[in-house]
Amino acid sequence: MPINLPVIQPGTQARKGPFARRPEDAAESLRERTLELAERGEWIVQRVPEPHLEVPTRSSGVKRVPLGHTWHHKSCGQCGHIPGYSTAIFWLHRKLGLEYEDPRDQTSCTAWNYYASATANQAAQAAVALRNFAAAHQSGYYPLIHCATSYGHYKEVRAEMVHHKALRDQVREILKKMGKPLVMPEEIVHYSEWIYAVRHEIAKRKVVDLSGITATVHPACHYYKLVQEDAIYDPDVYGGHRTAIVTGVAQALGVTVGDYSTWFDCCGFGFRHILVQRDFSRSFAVQQKIEAMRDEVNPDVTLTHDTGCVTTLDKSQFAAQAHTGVKAAIPVLSEAQFCALAMGAHPYRVCQLHWHAADYRPLLEKMGIDWRERWREFEDDVARLKANPGTYLTWDDAG
Amino acid sequence: MPLAESLAREAPGPGGKPAEVPYAEKERLFAAVKADLRFEDYLYGCYECGICVAVCPSARFYDFSPRRIAQAVAREDVELVWEQMNGEIWECSQCFSCLRCPRKNNPGGIVTIMREVAVRNGLHSAQQALEGYSRIIYKIMSTGTQVSPDMIRPEAFPDWGPTARETAENLEVWRRAMPPETMHTTSTSWEVDDKTLTELYLIWHLTGVLDMIRTLDESLHMILVDVMEEKLEEAGYPLS
């Protein structure tokens, strides 16, 4: 006979109502500390320009996200291996009529190398970050960070610069030698926070029916685990228990988001591992993430918002076919690419999907996008470029 | 030359075992870890609750434990820290899932510091871990971007499927088939202007990063110094 044990005793039901964090658990406000240091003349603070939107954060605060006039701190991984990622971000700005700057005076944040090899140090990393911030400030545009690792690492740098005067003094001296001021942005903003902020504008411009699409979301570790207080958390998304980035965008577009048990897990990128110990990255990505998504949700696509995650989850699936005997093909896109496709962007001229390894074509078919015709158009572009050395595809060509 | 560096360059002792390192030298290295500005922000004490291990990707695939890292440094276990600096720290994925720690420890951050100390002191473990990585270090330090399109070669990434081959075959024209003007490059992720690159070299030069490279790979150090010194001199930056 089954034993009937009550799980909840009368009078001890869980408290109902919206989730709210305890004020005493709020993390230190690095934004406030940044502004205080500006008042003391330690550095210049670059203020978020108007117009901006305020979005909710983990610490029950708000974050100011600039809409336009943004300086695009590009990502070495995105621009190198998944170029449709950055191209889609730029295309979205253009379609929303928002001005941006695509600079040549920006270096990599160098954090990939730093985490992978430890052949840099705190002062070098901070000086690279602050040199890039100074370049943005000198241009008059506000930095929007494409890569989640750059974003997370820059927030580490901000915390270190706020806490350690010796480091501030050292970096100020280095920048002085190159004629640059010490500038800290008021907010450090990731591109996915910008997409989250403008998600309803994107949804208004949607030209594709996405009601039949199911997605899983992989949030990037360095977005919400590193210096986490100002990552975006929305009470309407998972009750505020998980970051709302990407999920909130997919929901705004009318996509069904499927939950799965390894949501919190890293993709397995590992920095050094993805290049010189790929067995680890490949095994982790497939066994912990892709197979869990497939078995528990069977999504049409998995969406993420970082270079390393797209690379690891996308490229690792080819070898898994030999391992399992089953084609574990879940297309992997950034939400920027997905939003662009939803707004009618060309899958090759804009979203550059031919650089991806996992088969994305069934997803396009389900979205009603004629990938054969689009590929034929792209092949015509390529033939034209081949016949005319020194020519390039332009934004006018991309539509 | 620090003792650990000179030992790292010695041949292994009898039976192929590494030469014995005096306790005082291990203490010196641990003191260097503790002296890092960030150390006090990264370690507060450990409940041994194991949350960090439960969420750690490397703990599932390697003999690696963020809890053991936090415990070793909290207990000031010089021998165990030395052992970790010679092995398991290189398995950390640097994902920082371990920041879920209820005591607000940062085991991934402690690993970062331990790795830096291992590199600065030329430990053999650092040289071994980074043996296949020097090509990447050269790329980032000499170009200002790190993951270039021309790194995608089928022989380098056979497990990435046919895309690696197609990308390599069409690299130049596919890069031209992108609307952003900064992304028509193949040897860098985007176009970085010369002045910016020189400023990056100045940062490496002034912060001692080149000295760190020398402890790992003298040939790579010489190549980088040649490239950078010329650029810095041309730009009028004093090298002394």
At A11 the pLDDT is: 55
> Any idea how long chain A is?
399
The mean-pLDDT minimum among A22-36, A262-276, A287-301 falls in A22-36
A276 — pLDDT class (breaks 50, 70, 90):
confident
Nearest partner of A88 among B179, B66, B129, judged by Cα: B179
Query: Inter-chain contact B200–A355, Cβ cutoff 8 Å?
Result: no
- The pLDDT of residue A379 is above 50: yes
Nearest-by-CA chain B residue for A381: B177
Rounded Cα distance, A4 and A260, in Å: 29
Complex prediction ipTM: 0.93
- The pLDDT of residue A392 is above 80: yes
| Best of B112, B127, B159, B211 to mutate (most A CBs within 10 Å, chain A) | B159
Structure tokens at A377: 């158009």
Contact A320, A329 (CB under 8 A): no
Strand partners, A72: A144
Rounded Cα distance, B131 and B216, in Å: 9
pLDDT tens across A147-165, in order?
999 999 999 999 999 999 9
pLDDT tens across A112-138, in order?
999 999 999 999 999 999 999 999 999
At A13 the pLDDT is: 53
Nearest-by-CA chain A residue for B237: A177
pLDDT tens across A65-105, in order?
999 999 999 999 899 999 999 999 999 999 999 999 999 99
Q: Report how far Cα B15 is from the mean position of its chain's Cα atoms.
A: 30
Partners of A123 on chain B (C-beta within 8 Å) are 207-208
Structure tokens at B89: 């720290």
At A15 the pLDDT is: 55
Nearest partner of A277 among B130, B146, B141, B107, judged by Cα: B130
- The pLDDT of residue A243 is above 80: yes
Contact A46, A186 (CB under 8 A): yes
At A16 the pLDDT is: 56
Where do runs of H (alpha helix) occur along B46-91? 51-55, 57-61, 66-74, 78-85
pLDDT tens across B70-83, in order?
999 999 999 999 99
Rounded Cα distance, B148 and B189, in Å: 5
B85 to chain A, any CB pair closer than 8 A? The answer is: no
Question: How far apart are the CA of B137 and the nearest CA of chain A, in angstroms?
Answer: 7
- The pLDDT of residue B17 is above 90: no
pLDDT tens across B114-132, in order?
999 999 999 998 998 888 8
Question: How far apart are the CA of B18 and the nearest CA of chain A, in angstroms?
Answer: 23
A134 vs A240, residue with greater confidence: A134
Compare CB distances from B133 to A87, A116, A131 and report the shortest one's residue. A116
At B9 the pLDDT is: 46
At B131 the pLDDT is: 85
End-to-end CA distance of chain A: 69
Query: Inter-chain contact B179–A394, Cβ cutoff 8 Å?
Result: yes
Nearest-by-CA chain A residue for B161: A318
Query: Inter-chain contact B100–A225, Cβ cutoff 8 Å?
Result: yes
A139 vs B145, residue with greater confidence: A139
B11 — pLDDT class (breaks 50, 70, 90):
very low
In order of A224, A286, A296, A316, B168, the CA distances from A262 in angstroms are 16, 12, 10, 17, 34
B18 — pLDDT class (breaks 50, 70, 90):
low
- The pLDDT of residue B13 is above 50: no
Contact B99, B38 (CB under 8 A): no
Nearest-by-CA chain B residue for A389: B173
pLDDT tens across B172-216, in order?
999 999 999 999 999 999 999 999 999 999 999 999 999 999 998
The mean-pLDDT minimum among A174-188, A312-326, B225-239 falls in A312-326
DSSP letter string, B167-227 = HHHTHHHHHHT-S-GGG--SSSSS---HHHHHHHHHHHHHTTHHHHHHHH-HHHHHHHHHH
Query: Inter-chain contact B183–A83, Cβ cutoff 8 Å?
Result: yes
Compare CB distances from A76 to B147, B160, B173 and report the shortest one's residue. B147
Q: Which of residues 102-131 of B touch A (CB under 8 A)?
A: 112, 115-116, 118-119, 126, 129-130
Question: How far apart are the CA of A352 and the nearest CA of chain B, in angstroms?
Answer: 8
At A214 the pLDDT is: 98
Mean pLDDT of B126-150: 88
Q: How many CB pairs under 8 A join A and B?
A: 257
Query: Inter-chain contact A121–B183, Cβ cutoff 8 Å?
Result: no
Sign of the alpha-carbon dihedral angle for A14, A20, A23, A29: positive
Partners of A177 on chain B (C-beta within 8 Å) are 202, 206, 237
At B239 the pLDDT is: 77
pLDDT more than 70, % of chain A: 92
Q: DSSP label at B32?
A: H
Partners of B116 on chain A (C-beta within 8 Å) are 118, 121
**This prediction's pTM:** 0.93
Rounded Cα distance, B49 and A102, in Å: 46
Mean pLDDT of chain A: 93
In order of B7, B20, B21, the CA distances from B14 in angstroms are 14, 11, 14
Question: How far apart are the CA of A174 and the nearest CA of chain B, in angstroms?
Answer: 7
Question: How far apart are the CA of B14 and the nearest CA of chain A, in angstroms?
Answer: 30
Mean pLDDT of A37-42: 97
Query: Inter-chain contact A106–B196, Cβ cutoff 8 Å?
Result: yes
At A24 the pLDDT is: 67
- The pLDDT of residue A306 is above 60: yes
Query: Inter-chain contact A385–B176, Cβ cutoff 8 Å?
Result: yes
Query: Inter-chain contact A76–B189, Cβ cutoff 8 Å?
Result: yes
Question: How far apart are the CA of A211 and the nearest CA of chain B, in angstroms?
Answer: 30
3-state secondary structure of A50: coil
